[in-house]
Amino acid sequence: MSAFGDVPLPDDIVGSRYKLERPLGSGGRGLVFLARDLVTESPVALKLVRERRYGHRLLFEAQLLARLAPLEAVCRLLDCGEHSDGRPFIVIEWIDGKPIDRMALTINDILTISMIICRALAKLHILGYLHRDVKPTNVVVPIEGSEARVAGAKLIDFDLARPMFEMCSDGQSKPLFGRTGGTADYMAPEQLTGRHQTAATDIYGLGATMFSLLYQRPIQPTGNVEQAHFADVGLPTPFIGAYVVRRLTEEIVVPVDESVPRELQFLLSRMLRIDSRERPSSIADVQEVLGGLANSPG
C-alpha cells in the first residue's frame, strides 16, 4: 500500500518526474493528487486513472484541455504520460484553493464565477463539445492568504465531456444521446434520461450550480441520499423512479428572495426549464444577462 491510504500505487513517483504529495480528490474513474515536479520543483496537479481501461477518457480530457488553451477559465495542461504500471496520467496547473461548494460567496462573487464558467463553456461549445458535469465541485477558486480570489476561478474536470455530434459510418452526423454518471442534482432532465443533449444541457448545469450557491441547497429536495446520488454509480436503482419523475414533471421553483436581483431569479428559472428549448438558446444569451447584472449598481 502506498502513502495514499487505500490507493494502490507501486511507488510514489509517477512518470519518473512527479512526486505525489497528497490526494486532492477522487471520482469514479480518476484520482487527483498534488504533486511536485522534480525537474522544475513546482507544485502541479496530477490526474491518474484508477484502471487502465479508463485511459482513453483521460487522453480525451488532455486533448480538450490542449484545445481550450490559452483560456484563463480552465487549467493549463502541462504534460501527459504513462505510469510504470501502464496507467496514463495528465499533469495540469495546480490551483492553490478549493472548490466553490466549500465557500461562502456573495452575489457578486457568484456572478463573477458564473461569467468565468460561461467563458469556458462558450469556447467549449464553439469547439463542438459539451462539458456535461458543471457543478460546484468542478469549479476551483484560488485562495491567497485567507482571501478567495474569485476572479481566478477555473472550470475543471472534462471527464464527461463529449462531442455534440458524432460522425456515423454512413457519413451522417448524429446528435449526442446517452446516460452518464455525474451528480443528479446538477444534471439536466435530458441527461438524467439519456435523451438528446445540447448546449442547453450545460446551461442547465450552470443554472443548477448558480442556484445551489445562491440558495445554499440543491434545486430540488431529494429526500434521501440514494435518490440524490444514484447517478454517481451510473446505474439505475429502485430509487431513481420517483426522483427522476419529479425532475421530468415539476418545474424548478426559484425562491423569491429580496437579496437576489429579480433578473437573476428570472434567468435561473429559464436556465432550469425542463424543456431544453425553453432555456436560453446559447451561453452568449446567459453571458448577456449576467453582464448586465454585474454592471448594475447595488
Ligand X SMILES: Nc1ncnc2c1ncn2[C@@H]1O[C@H](COP(=O)(O)OP(=O)(O)O)[C@@H](O)[C@H]1O
To the nearest whole angstrom, how small is the minimum distance from the Cβ of residue 76 to ligand X? 9
Residues 165 to 194 in contact with ligand X, rule: CB under 6 A: none
What is the grid cell recorded at 184? 443528479
State the binding string over 98-137 for Mg ion (x if CB under 5 A, else -): ----------------------------------------
Please tell me whether the peptide bond between 255 and the residue prior to it is cis, using omega within 30 degrees of 0.
no
Q: What minimum distance in Å lies between the beta carbon of 166 and ligand X?
A: 22
Binding segment (CB under 6 A) for ligand X, from list 151-159, 177-185, 194-202, 289-297 = 151-159
Q: Is 157 a binder of Mg ion (CB under 5 A)?
A: yes
Q: Does 26 bind ligand X (CB under 6 A)?
A: yes
Burial of 191 (0-12, 13-18, 19+ CB in 10 A): buried
Find the shortest distance in angstroms from Cβ 56 to ligand X. Answer: 15
Q: Nearest Cα to 154, choosing from 188, 105, 121, 193? A: 121
Using rule CB under 5 A, residue 61 touches Mg ion: no
Closest to Mg ion by CB, 32 or 272: 32
* 45 makes contact with ligand X (CB under 6 A): yes
In the region spanning residues 66 to 85, those forming contacts with ligand X, defined by CB under 6 A, are: 75
Q: Shortest distance, CB of residue 298 to Mg ion, whole angstroms?
A: 34
Which one of 122-130, 155-163, 251-259, 279-287 is the stretch in contact with Mg ion (CB under 5 A)? 155-163
Query: Is residue 207 close enough to count as binding ligand X by CB under 6 A?
Result: no
Q: Which residues of this protein are in contact with Mg ion, per CB under 5 A?
A: 138, 157
Q: Which residues of this protein are in contact with ligand X, per CB under 6 A?
A: 24-27, 30, 32, 45, 47, 75, 92-95, 99, 137-138, 140, 156-157, 159
